[in-house]
């Protein structure tokens, strides 16, 4: 080996030794300074007094929409009017009644309208409430029923109604007959007319018939489903104010809604010598609707030409001013007309 070659070899060895030394020093420095030369700090250690989240929610996970309960429909005018003529509360409700109302209100607030109504109706049918307690409970049940019975929201578990899937060939009349209801009421609560019934659609139904109880002293008409008050299945629905016969001329007793005697836009044949008043005459006292009644019990037996109708004299509601028939406000008679079923709905008129 020449002298020049040996010099090159020694120089190469020196360079290797210097490189190794530099690498060693760098390694020792990093060991003593963990963060030096790092693009980002190391992950923090877990604290000993907290646990990691087991299932962290991804930032992209969509929010779950809160469940919605059926809204309570505001009480219509007829409820407020009926309540205004109930006896004023002489004392505070008893503890048991207060607890029932409180429990029912909690159910209402949480969307459990059927449970709330059942509690209140059981208390009402128990027959142990005072007049003022009855008025309070009826007002609350009536407001619930504006949603459960008369509103568009469907309640499949409602024992006094529920839902029905329209079958091919069905009609509103056929569906109504199967549920002891009127086709007008089925159409009203679903917002549909007979010409737009679609097979396969789920609609709301009512298990009728409706029954009416008229109190001559209070000038009220209470509506029920499932039976008359006192019957096990009876459920209070709502109340309307009525006008009655002058000089106490409306007979007490039980009446049946006559078959084929419910009329819209009826002609009036005056027994007072006024002649015939056409349906479209603003002087027609029937107010656009006539529900013929047939007496079956009590003083009503054998009575003819009595019925429930509207009026062109709204001030007569709450008074004795008719010729013996039962009068209702214009909006109220339209609703009652749709409720009562010919040949099945009974009307009880009591003192």
| DSSP-assigned letters across all residues of 12-26 | HHHHHHHHHHHHHHH
What average pLDDT does this structure show over 133-138? 94
Is the domain of 223 the same as that of 195? no
Buried b (16+ CB within 10 A) or exposed e, 61-72: eeeeeeeeeeeb
In a domain, 135, yes or no: yes
More confident residue, 180 or 91: 180
pLDDT at residue 156, rounded to an integer: 97
pLDDT at 121 over 70: yes
Are 201 and 224 within one domain? no
> Would 4 be classed as within a structural domain?
no
Q: What was the pLDDT predicted at 37?
A: 43
Rounded CA-CA distance 329/241 in Å is 8
Is residue 64 one of the residues assigned to a domain?
no
- The pLDDT value recorded for residue 72 is 75
The CA distance from 120 to 123, in Å, is 5
| CB contact at 8 A, 209 and 344 | yes
Higher pLDDT, 131 or 29: 131
Q: Are strands 320-322 and 244-245 parallel, antiparallel or unpaired?
A: parallel
Per-residue pLDDT tens over the stretch 67-80 = 356 777 777 778 77
**Mean pLDDT for the stretch of residues 214-242:** 97
For residues 331 and 266, state if they share a domain. yes
Q: Where are the alpha helices (DSSP H) in 110-244?
A: 113-125, 131-148, 172-178, 183-190
For residue 325, give the nearest of 218, 244, 259 by alpha carbon: 244
182 and 242 in one domain?
no
CA angle 118, 100, 112 (to 5 degrees): 45
Instruction: Decide if 34 is inside a domain.
Output: no
* pLDDT given at position 35: 45
- The tokens for 15 are 């360079």
Asked, for residue 39, whether it belongs to a domain, the answer is no
Domain presence at residue 272 = yes
- Rounded Cα distance between 272 and 286, Å, is 14
Query: For residue 109, what pLDDT band results from cuts at 50, 70 and 90?
Result: very high
Q: Do 236 and 340 have their domain in common? A: yes
Instruction: Say whether pLDDT at 211 is over 90.
Output: yes
> What is residue 77's predicted lDDT score, i.e. its pLDDT?
77
- For residue 286, pLDDT over 80 is answered with yes
pLDDT at 123 over 90: yes
Least trusted range by pLDDT, from 37-46, 208-217, 319-328: 37-46
At residue 47 the predicted structure's pLDDT band, cuts being 50, 70 and 90, is very low
The rounded Cα 259 to chain-centroid distance in angstroms is 31
- Checking if the pLDDT of 57 tops 90, the result is no
Average pLDDT, the chain: 83
Regarding whether 298 and 345 lie in a shared domain, the answer is yes
Domain housing 199: 161-207
Assign 62 a pLDDT band (cuts: 50, 70, 90): very low
Known catalytic residues? 309, 325
Together in a domain, 230 and 339: yes
DSSP for 187-205, please give it. Answer: HHHHT--GGG--TT-EEEE
- Give the CATH number, domain containing residue 220: 2.40.440.10
Mean pLDDT of 169-193: 97
Evaluate whether 277 touches 265 at the Cβ level (below 8 Å).
no
Contact 236, 122 (CB under 8 A): no
For residues 268 and 29, the model is more confident at: 268
Residue with token string 């030369």: 37
Predicted pLDDT at 43: 35
What pLDDT was estimated at residue 38? 40
344 shares a domain with 226? yes
| Whole-number pLDDT of residue 18 | 53
**Taking 60 as the threshold, does the pLDDT of residue 24 lie above it?**
no
Residue bearing the bigger pLDDT, 129 or 34: 129
Confidence category of residue 28, pLDDT binned at 50, 70, 90: very low
For residue 12, being part of any structural domain is answered with no
Q: Confidence band (pLDDT; 50, 70, 90) for 304?
A: confident
The larger pLDDT score, comparing residue 40 to residue 137, is at: 137
In this structure, the answer to whether residues 197 and 214 fall within a common structural domain is no
Q: Per-residue b/e over 303-314, b at no fewer than 16 CB within 10 Å?
A: beebbbbbbeee
What pLDDT score does 225 carry? 98
Considering the domain boundaries, does residue 103 fall inside one? yes
Q: What is the pLDDT of residues 140-156, one digit of tens each?
A: 999 999 999 999 999 99
What percent of the chain clears pLDDT 70, i.e. is strictly above it? Answer: 77
Is the previous residue joined to 22 through a cis bond, with omega within 30 degrees of 0? no
Q: Is the pLDDT reported for residue 59 higher than 80?
A: no
pTM: 0.77
8 Å CB contact between 132 and 89:
yes
Cβ(176)–Cβ(182) under 8 Å?
yes
- How many domains does the chain fold into? 3
Distance CA 310, CA 288 (A): 6
H or E stretch at 245: strand 244-245
State the helix-helix crossing angle for 77-84 and 330-339, rounded to 10 degrees: 100
Measure the CA–CA gap between 236 and 145, rounded to whole angstroms. 9
């Amino acid at each position: 080996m020449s002298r020049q070659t040996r010099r090159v070899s020694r120089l190469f060895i020196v360079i290797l030794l210097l490189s190794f030394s530099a690498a060693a020093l760098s390694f020792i420095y990093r060991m003593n300074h963990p963060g030096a030369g790092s693009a980002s700090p190391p992950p923090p250690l877990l604290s000993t007094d907290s646990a990691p989240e087991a299932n962290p929610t991804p930032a992209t996970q969509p929010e779950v929409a809160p469940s919605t309960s059926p809204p309570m429909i505001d009480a219509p005018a007829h409820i407020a009017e009926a309540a205004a003529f109930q006896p004023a509360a002489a004392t505070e409700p008893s503890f048991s009644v207060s607890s029932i109302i409180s429990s029912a209100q909690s159910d209402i607030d949480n969307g459990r309208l059927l449970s709330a109504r059942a509690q209140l109706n059981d208390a009402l049918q128990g027959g142990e409430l005072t007049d003022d307690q009855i008025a309070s409970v009826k007002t609350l049940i009536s407001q619930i029923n504006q949603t459960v019975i008369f509103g568009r929201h469907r309640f499949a578990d409602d024992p006094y109604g529920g839902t029905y899937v329209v079958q091919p060939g069905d009609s509103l009349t056929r569906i109504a007959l199967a549920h002891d209801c009127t086709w007008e009421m089925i159409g009203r609560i679903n917002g549909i007319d007979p010409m737009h019934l679609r097979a396969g659609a789920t609609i709301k139904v009512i298990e009728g018939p409706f029954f009416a109880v008229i109190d001559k002293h209070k000038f009220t008409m209470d509506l029920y489903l499932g039976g008359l008050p006192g019957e096990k299945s009876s459920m209070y629905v709502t109340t309307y104010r009525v006008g009655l016969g002058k000089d106490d001329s409306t007979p007490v007793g039980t009446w049946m809604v006559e078959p084929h005697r419910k009329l819209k836009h009826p002609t009036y044949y005056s027994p007072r010598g006024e002649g015939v008043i056409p349906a479209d005459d603003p002087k027609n006292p029937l107010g656009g609707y006539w529900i013929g009644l047939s007496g079956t019990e009590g003083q009503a037996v054998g009575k003819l030409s009595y019925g429930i109708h509207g009026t062109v004299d709204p001030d007569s509601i709450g008074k004795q001013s008719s010729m013996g028939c039962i009068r209702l406000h214009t909006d109220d008679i339209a609703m009652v007309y749709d409720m009562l079923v010919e040949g099945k709905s009974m009307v009880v008129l009591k003192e």
